[in-house]
Structure 1
């Protein structure tokens, strides 16, 4: 989970997209949006939402923050998930009116729910498939897991802060996300008994890629992970090929450091 600060800690520098998007793909995403907004992600969370003001705010979030020219999220399934999952259900009641703003929000215990764009961008980089089994390191509010739940077969999510793990598990159950499993534990170690995973998403930053996560990623799988010190981090897309990792630096970011084993092994 990204850390709270006076400026959006997990935003791209100056909001600049990491890669250019072909105009044709962007027009396709925009053309599909009305249909996507009317479609369910396959989870009952939309019914649990119910409030028209939140639905309107969520549509504005997708229109203005995700598919705008300068952001260019274009995966139709990711856009559908972002347009459906009730983000306001994953933030404290006293700040729900800010749930769809273009910034991270505090969720307690020194943690935040990530900026919507970062959630969408990291999800898109995973290239999720309906048959995938995904490991998430850093459950936080549970919102990222909810987004993934409508896109893949199973989500396994680990949170090192016990209170957050319990709250997220309760909220995901309440909202009907039955294909998400939440565990309180050290994300550095992964979830070995459930491996291998088709993809892994990490929302806290170690200063190196944890080997247990590499071992638990299937051949051909993808991992999205921030790596570096708090003041100098980059988001990487890793692809596993022939047992080795191909690395692509895709975005400057700032997430809280990974704690637990990763903290004790910081180089």
Structure 2
């Protein structure tokens, strides 16, 4: 769909007022940021006119399952739940086009984002550079290899974000959080998945809440459930 002559500012206003606020995203900082970081700059040209619509945007051609931008309201709700601070050291798994990393980079001290698809990693790097965001590093890697060793570069983390769903959150990943840090993931199997926020409360203790339900595509190669439970 051509974006020639498209009124992105009007569409951005409608996105915030009609999609995001009704999803209980009311944090003034988050809403302002969504108005500042141009989502259309992180969308493939073929889908640019749909960048601010209430849907997942394919990032590859032909479309590959799971390789997409999440709907704007989902990204906004995640960002609000994380309550990022300027001192936070963040890990994201699933860079995609770099948009979520760009949002987090504007709020946090630094972000490491991992992407398993080299072409998407290159896209994210280019998009972030064009947006002038210099505190986000994109690494091409399968996060799940060698007990999540590719994730450990900047550990411990204040925040870990999984930008796709998993059957469960591996303990090896939780151990990369500092005490007081928090991890966001969408956990479960279709048709029931839950947004899950886990805080590391001690060296071997965690507190988990599930504030809302959503179904999103799977992250690749994450393990299936084990006997461990929170």
Name the TM-score, length of structure 2 as normaliser.
0.86
Separation in structure 2 between the aligned mates of residue 242 and residue 201 of structure 1, nearest angstrom: 19
CA RMSD of aligned residues (A): 1.8
- Whether the 8 Å contact between 2:93 and 2:113 is mirrored in structure 1 is yes
Residue matched to 1:57:
11
**Unpaired runs of 5+ in structure 2?**
none
- Whether the 8 Å contact between 2:101 and 2:136 is mirrored in structure 1 is yes
**Distance change >3 Å, CA 233–CA 103, structure 1 → 2:** same
Separation in structure 2 between the aligned mates of residue 151 and residue 239 of structure 1, nearest angstrom: 19
Q: Relative to structure 2, which stretch is displaced further, 100-109 or 187-196?
A: 187-196
Name the TM-score, length of structure 1 as normaliser.
0.75
Aligned pair 1:163/2:119, yes or no?
yes
State the shift of 1:266 in Å.
Answer: 5.1
How many residues are paired up?
213
State the shift of 1:198 in Å.
Answer: 0.9
Residue matched to 1:173:
129
**Relative contact order: is structure 1 or structure 2 higher (C-alpha 8 Å, sep ≥ 6)?**
1
Provide the secondary structure at the position in 2 that maps to 1:239: strand
Residue matched to 2:209:
248
Query: Greater share of helix residues, 1 or 2?
Result: 1
- Whether the 8 Å contact between 1:224 and 1:236 is mirrored in structure 2 is yes
Aligned pair 1:223/2:183, yes or no?
yes
Residue matched to 1:96:
48
- Whether the 8 Å contact between 2:91 and 2:113 is mirrored in structure 1 is yes
Separation in structure 1 between the aligned mates of residue 181 and residue 29 of structure 2, nearest angstrom: 19
Separation in structure 2 between the aligned mates of residue 258 and residue 93 of structure 1, nearest angstrom: 24
Q: Relative to structure 2, which stretch is displaced further, 124-133 or 248-257?
A: 248-257
State the shift of 1:205 in Å.
Answer: 2.0
**Unpaired runs of 5+ in structure 1?**
1-50
